[in-house]
């Protein structure tokens, strides 16, 4: 029964384009209409019809402690009592900046913004200002937010100048955006060979075409070629930050980017993004340097408090390792199931994973596009009807939280087995 959700959606479409404030929420790609949420607690989310779902979306990553952590909520209340926005510096942003620096040794300085999109937009401008070059290189299937320069795709696997992914982006804007397939280091070498590219931006583990892992040598290659050609390497860790390792890609792969962008977990569910990196580059930002960037609500005290408390608990309670202890068993069960079943495969990194309806785990967008999307839609619906909320697209990562228990993870496996049986797989 999703009657109230359906009624709300009927109203919503009359006042909000498509009825939602972010497209993937519309459930369009799985041929359904959205559920409207009343509340979320721990590993569960509850819709307005009173249905309870085991949640693998986790507000698209931020809720790494599980939903509505009591300590975080209490801290938010306490801080809000003193005012919800000042438009002036407050102690909380200094504390969060120091915390981020302690957790991530390659970050000398950090600037807080309001979303992941703002973070990558700022990082790109900063890279262009610092290197005095215009071109940027991104990878097909990597998502870096919805601003013009990075909302670009390329023709079928051929490195090419960007084609905008959406109407509304001038061809001129994307003329300076170059693209390669993920894991194609030869393409990168070729496109950087003229020493005229400002930066390479990459999800160190891709999460926005489903979880796709860097092959051995890919990130190392990027670091080497960028250093040789005076190109800045930007790790977009809006999704992977605190999720693939407690120190993100730096911790997992031992590779140091020039700049990194953060979002999602860093705000613990509040609108926070951040750009961090080496001092001499970061100091190019205004008012220290010439590259302009600003935000009325940036460093908002309530948002900072939420991020700070979330990261404090994350460290204090060894949250990453606790999740991984439970995840390991789950991942090995899932791996075994995939090995014994044709046409499904599976990728994971830390606390994120994607099940692909494709024989072998994909290594770039071309291969992700070979998945059986109809089957994915049926799987999504089957899980939803059985009280499990998955991200409503094959192109998304699933997330685990501290509150996901072994029985929850076993439930995913059991339901998947049942689904495979129904599908005759
Ligand atoms: C979610 C995401 C963004 C955009 O963040 P928003 O807060 O939605 O603007 C950017 N980069 C990556 C890797 C993301 O996963």
Q: What is the DSSP string of 282-311?
A: HTTBTTTSSB----TTTT-HHHHHHHHHHH
Residues 55 and 47: their CA atoms lie apart, in Å, by 11
Task: Reduce the DSSP state of residue 413 to 3 states and report it.
Answer: helix
Residue 49: active-site member? no
Does 208 contact ligand 1 (Cβ within 6 A)? yes
Residues 387 and 46: their CA atoms lie apart, in Å, by 10
For residue 360, report the phi and psi dihedrals to the nearest 5 degrees.
-115, 145
CA 262 / ligand 1 centre spacing (Å): 8
Residue 28: active-site member? no
Pick from 58, 237, 264, 297 the residue to mutate for probing ligand 1's pocket: most ligand atoms within 8 Å of its CB.
264
Domain limits, the chain: 3-68+317-423, 70-316
Give the model's pLDDT for residue 161: 57
Give the model's pLDDT for residue 333: 97
Does 138 contact ligand 1 (Cβ within 6 A)? no
**Structure token pair of residue 280:** 């001499």
Q: How confident is the model over 107-120, as pLDDT tens digits? A: 999 999 999 999 99
Asked if residues 232 and 199 have their Cβ atoms less than 8 Å apart, the reply is yes
Asked if residues 279 and 108 have their Cβ atoms less than 8 Å apart, the reply is yes
Does 203 contact ligand 1 (Cβ within 6 A)? yes
**Structure token pair of residue 234:** 């930007």
Does 120 contact ligand 1 (Cβ within 6 A)? yes
| DSSP H helix total and E strand total for the chain | 14, 17
Task: Reduce the DSSP state of residue 195 to 3 states and report it.
Answer: coil
Q: Which residues of the chain have pLDDT under 50?
A: 154-160
Residue with token string 């495979």: 420
Residues 244 and 221: their CA atoms lie apart, in Å, by 20
CATH of domain 70-316: 3.40.640.10
Pick from 208, 263, 349, 351 the residue to mutate for probing ligand 1's pocket: most ligand atoms within 8 Å of its CB.
263
Give the model's pLDDT for residue 150: 87
Residue with token string 């439930």: 411
Of 90, 115, 98, 107, the C-alpha closest to 269 is 115
Residue 175: active-site member? no
Asked if residues 33 and 26 have their Cβ atoms less than 8 Å apart, the reply is yes
Does 145 contact ligand 1 (Cβ within 6 A)? yes
Whose alpha carbon is nearest atom 10 of ligand 1? 144
Tally Cβ neighbours within 10 Å of residue 46. Answer: 17
User: Which ligand 1 atom is at minimum distance from the Cα of 239?
Assistant: 15
Of 111, 108, 106, the C-alpha closest to 121 is 111
Q: How confident is the model over 204-216, as pLDDT tens digits? A: 999 999 999 999 9
Residues 41 and 70: their CA atoms lie apart, in Å, by 10
Domain 3-68+317-423 fold is 3.90.1150
Asked if residues 394 and 357 have their Cβ atoms less than 8 Å apart, the reply is yes
Asked if residues 53 and 388 have their Cβ atoms less than 8 Å apart, the reply is yes
């Amino acid at each position: 029964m999703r009657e109230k959700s359906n009624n709300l959606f009927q109203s919503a479409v009359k006042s909000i384009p498509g009825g939602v404030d972010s497209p993937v929420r519309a459930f369009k790609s799985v041929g359904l209409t959205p559920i409207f949420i009343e509340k979320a607690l721990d590993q569960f989310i509850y819709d307005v019809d009173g249905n309870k779902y085991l949640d693998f979306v986790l507000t698209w990553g931020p809720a790494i402690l599980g939903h509505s952590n009591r300590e975080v909520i209490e801290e938010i209340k306490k801080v809000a009592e003193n005012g919800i926005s000042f438009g002036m510096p407050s102690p909380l942003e200094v504390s969060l900046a120091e915390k981020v620096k302690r957790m991530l040794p390659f970050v000398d300085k950090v600037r807080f913004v309001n979303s992941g999109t703002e973070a990558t937009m700022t990082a790109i401008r900063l890279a262009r200002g610092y290197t005095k070059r215009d071109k940027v290189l991104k990878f097909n299937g990597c998502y870096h937010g919805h601003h013009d320069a990075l909302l670009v795709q390329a023709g079928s696997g051929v490195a090419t100048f960007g084609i905008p992914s959406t109407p509304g982006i001038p061809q001129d804007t994307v003329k300076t955006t170059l693209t390669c397939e993920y894991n194609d280091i030869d393409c990168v070498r070729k496109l950087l060979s003229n020493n005229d590219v400002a930066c390479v931006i990459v999800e160190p583990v891709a999460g926005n075409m489903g979880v796709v892992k860097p092959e051995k040598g890919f990130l190392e290659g990027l670091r080497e070629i960028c250093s040789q050609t005076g190109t800045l390497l930007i790790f977009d860790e809006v999704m992977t930050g605190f999720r693939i390792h407690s120190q993100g890609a730096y911790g997992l792969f031992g590779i140091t980017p020039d700049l990194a962008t953060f979002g999602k977990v860093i705000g613990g569910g509040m609108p926070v993004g951040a750009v961090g990196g080496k001092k001499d580059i970061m100091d190019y930002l205004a008012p220290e340097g010439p590259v302009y960037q600003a935000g009325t609500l940036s460093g908002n005290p309530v948002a900072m408090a939420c991020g700070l408390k979330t990261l404090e608990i994350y460290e204090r309670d060894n949250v990453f390792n606790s999740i991984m202890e439970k995840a390991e068993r789950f991942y090995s069960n899932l791996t075994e199931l995939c090995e014994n079943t044709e046409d499904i495969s599976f990728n994971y990194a830390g606390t994120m994973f994607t099940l692909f309806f494709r024989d072998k785990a994909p290594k770039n967008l071309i291969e992700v596009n070979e998945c059986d999307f109809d089957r994915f839609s049926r799987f999504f619906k089957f899980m939803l009807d059985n009280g499990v909320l998955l991200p409503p697209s094959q192109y998304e990562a699933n997330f685990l939280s501290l509150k996901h228990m072994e029985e929850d993870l076993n439930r995913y496996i059991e339901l998947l087995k049942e689904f495979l049986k129904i599908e005759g797989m």
